[in-house]
Structure 1
Amino acid sequence: MVSCLWDKRGKEVSTPQKTTWEIEPHTLAKHEILRRYLGAWFPILGTAFQNIVYIDGFCGPGRYDGGEVGSPIIALREAKKHRNRLQKNRLIFHFVDERPDRISQLNDELEQIEVPDNFEIRPVARAFEHEFRDLLNNFDKDEFQKAPIFAFIDPFGFKGVPFDLVQKLLKKPRTEVFINIMADSINRFLEHPDKVTRQHISDLFGTTDVFKIAQDSGSRVEDLRLLYQEQLKKHAQFVRYFEMRNSKNRPIYYLFFATNNSLGHLRMKQAFWKVDSASGVRFSDATNPNQLVLFELDESETLAKELQNKFMNQKVQVKQVRDFVINKTSFLPKHVTKALRLLEKEKEIYVQTLKSDGNKRRKNSFPDEVIITFLSRVPKQRSLF
């Protein structure tokens, strides 16, 4: 187990001192999200771009004590699955970790893998902040100006990932970032008097407004999530988060995904839903996957309420509803029809009977051009008997 104690430098006191360590359930879930997304990312980009860049910050040794593979090996395996489609591309993998022993271990792991000739693997033992800054400067060269870049940034603490670097990455076309923000631990250091610690926190968020959250009596961890989310939205059209909880079912960190590509946004949401089929937004070490989660709202009910709040008293085409769900919510296209069927059944929407071509729509179908009227919601009265 990895504890959650931190020193004044923003680094976990009990960060594993060994080269390798035991993996935890939430890390497995995180890696599953990464694996699924990269499985879609590599082949899509390979059809349109010559160079493809993958960056893994705080990459670790490539394998855990129990033999489970780490993120560098996951990325290489997913790329290799599509080697035939990528054989004309140049793939550059940057694996960065400040611990030389872990990079040495990673090199040992990499030697066991047959790597295609067009894969360039660059493990570096260096502080991520410095290496990342140099990489971004080098990417300004003609060779990489148009290359798609995916950066997976997974620190143990809150040191060494200043927001200005994330901002600089997102200014480049076709870039995406998947970053771990340790909100629970940051929360416990919001009122720390040490200037260095406070600087690390404000650097991470890109604003000193983060310290105002310390005065909030509400959910400070959630407020930290909202603040980082808003910071990302200033630089990316699409921002999603996934909440990770510990064995006590307490939020410990958030995985944020930011992109300006609508397809990338959809693919990441699909990866989230594969890990959390109930809501697409969280994973808990406390949850037994073999047990049902009691009182969890059906996703169609949750989305139906969200659609009512968005479109109440409006007439809109089904396509407008779909676009809203795909681009502005955590839900997937497949959830739209179920939610609209529920709203129609509850008589909370009126659906035009004819399609634009004059033909009658089939029952329970919602073609894009059909007009829906969202009615005012009347609270249902509960019977006293």
Structure 2
Amino acid sequence: MGRVEELQQQTVWKSDPHTQVKHLVYRHYLQCWMAKILQKFPEATIVDCFAGPGIYSDGLAGSPIVVARTFLEHSANEKFSRLNLICLEERADRVEELRRQVAKLPRSPKLNIQVLPPGTFAEQQPRLSALAHRPRPNVPVLWLIDPFRLKSAPFSLIRQCMAGPRDEVLFTLFTNELHRFCEREHFDKAMTPYFGGDHWRAAVAGDRRARTRKEAFSAAYQDGLKALGLFSSDFGVEISSQSARYHLILATHSEAGLKCWAPMAWKLDSYSGEGASADSLDALTLFGEEAVESRLDAALRNYAGTEQRWETLSSQAARLNYMDKHLRKSLSDLASKGLAFRVSPVDARSAWPEGCTVRFYAPQDLVDEAS
């Protein structure tokens, strides 16, 4: 039985290497998200919109169980507030299996798991949103949207999931299918609602190489999110260190979300922070960290002639999917060339403390005109 038939016919199916990577992304992001959200707010909600049966035939846990175990096993769990986990699955047989898997979990008064009756995301989104926000109007909500098909999660539904001021979405973007079928006749009828507009066409018209085009599709999707005033980033789930099978897209109202995303990305991809395959997760980088700050370095050089607060620089780094440790390294590299100088504080225990102010210079500023 082929993979497609297995997904269509069986209640439980085998996992694949991409699933392992995706779940690691979930785990690492949730570790940070839970630590920040569940120690700040009295309650939060995670909605798994395509929950599945909760287990794979080879024993790997499904996404709802991954979420629950991340909460239960978190090192800061004792300090956590209440987490509501809402699960939606379309098929009745998988709903039944998911309930069996949930029943095996250890009980916690701070973890409320609700497995809804069978239903589709498109039909149930308004109800899901009402349930997710019911505890308090501004409750933080993280939506996990990992559909089987493009048509199951049009951009209009993603936009609805971001209606709350503290809503976040983790979305699986099918960049491999987009690359393979984007030039097929009538496929545009699926593409436009999927992207929420026809801005995807630029990716089709550009470089046709797989990796480049898939990255262009991811960038185009994020452009749609940013047009809504959202922050966004991505992570490529690759096929044996080749081009991405799909991209996981983060959409958030706050840069704080990006501050959790970047550590996850750099932990799983220590060279570029952009993507990983199952066979590359434990591989040592060939290049170390000498080249990883190139985009950040270029962005910092653009500040030549100005003074910038640490908060601005840290925000810029987060938007480029870098961490503060990368920012400090880039600043030190620029300082060694005379292109960055800490204005304040005058005395500090470290070179680039939080709250500092940095003055930037251009290479031409260093030229001795008298020579």
Letter in 1 for 2:231: F
What is the distance in 1 between the residues matched to 2:32 and 2:284? 30
Match of 1:365 in 2: 351
CA displacement at 1:341 relative to structure 2: 1.6
- Which one of the candidate residues 307, 312, 325 is aligned to 2:316? 325
Structure 1 gap ranges (5+)? 4-11, 379-385
- Aligned 1:4-23 pairs, distance under 5 A: 15=7, 17-23=9-15
Structure 2's unaligned 5+ residue stretches are: 366-371
| 3-state DSSP of counterpart to 2:151 | coil
Relative to 1, partners in 2 of residues 1:377 and 1:235: Cα closer, same or farther, differing over 3 Å?
farther
Counterpart-to-counterpart distance in 1, 2:115 and 2:339:
56
For 1:289 and 1:109, the matched residues in 2 are separated by: 29
- Equivalence for 2:89: 97
Would the alpha carbon gap of residues 290 and 212 (structure 1) be closer, same or farther in structure 2, given more than 3 Å must change?
Answer: closer
Aligned mate of 2:79, from 77, 82, 85 = 85
The 1:169–1:144 alpha-carbon spacing in structure 2 relative to 1, beyond 3 Å, is farther
DSSP 3-state at the match of 2:170: strand
Q: How large is the RMSD of aligned CA atoms in angstroms?
A: 3.0
> Helix, strand or coil: the match of 2:19?
helix
1:205 paired residue number: 195
Equivalence for 2:361: 374
Structure 1: distance between partners of 2:120 and 2:95: 12
Deviation, structure 1 residue 183:
1.1
Decide whether the 8 Å contact of 1:249 with 1:285 is kept in 2: no
Q: Which residue of 2 aligns with 1:382?
A: none
Residue number among 215, 220, 236 corresponding to 1:227 in the alignment: 220
Contact 1:183 1:225 in 2 (8 A): yes
Partner of 1:154: 146
Using the alignment, how far apart are the partners of 2:289 and 2:314 within structure 1?
Answer: 26
How many residues were matched structurally?
358
* 1:62 counterpart SS class: coil
1:42 pairs with one of 14, 21, 34: 34
Describe the SS at the equivalent of 1:258.
strand
Of residues 153-162 and 78-87 in structure 1, the stretch that sits farther from structure 2 once superposed is 78-87
Relative to structure 1, the CA distance from residue 45 to residue 248 in structure 2 (aligned partners, 3 Å threshold; closer, same or farther) is closer
Q: Structure 1 pair 64/299, CA: closer, same or farther in 2 (3 Å)?
A: same
Q: Any residues of structure 2 matched to 1:281-292 within 5 Å, and which?
A: 281-285=274-278, 287=280, 289-292=282-285
Matched ranges for 1:197-276 at <5 A = 198-211=188-201, 213-218=203-208, 219-247=212-240, 249-276=242-269
Determine whether 1:335 maps to 2:326: yes
Amino acid at match of 1:343: L
SS in 2 for 1:39: helix
Query: Are the aligned partners of 1:161 and 1:203 in contact in 2 as well (CA < 8 Å)?
Result: no
Instruction: Say whether the 8 Å CA contact 1:318–1:372 is kept in structure 2.
Output: no
1:370 Cα deviation from its structure 2 partner: 4.1
- Of the three residues 167, 176, 191, the one matched with 2:183 is 191
Q: Structure 1, residues 93-135: CA drift from partner, whole Å, max 9, x if none? A: 1112222222222111111112224433222322222222332
TM-score by length of structure 2 reads: 0.84
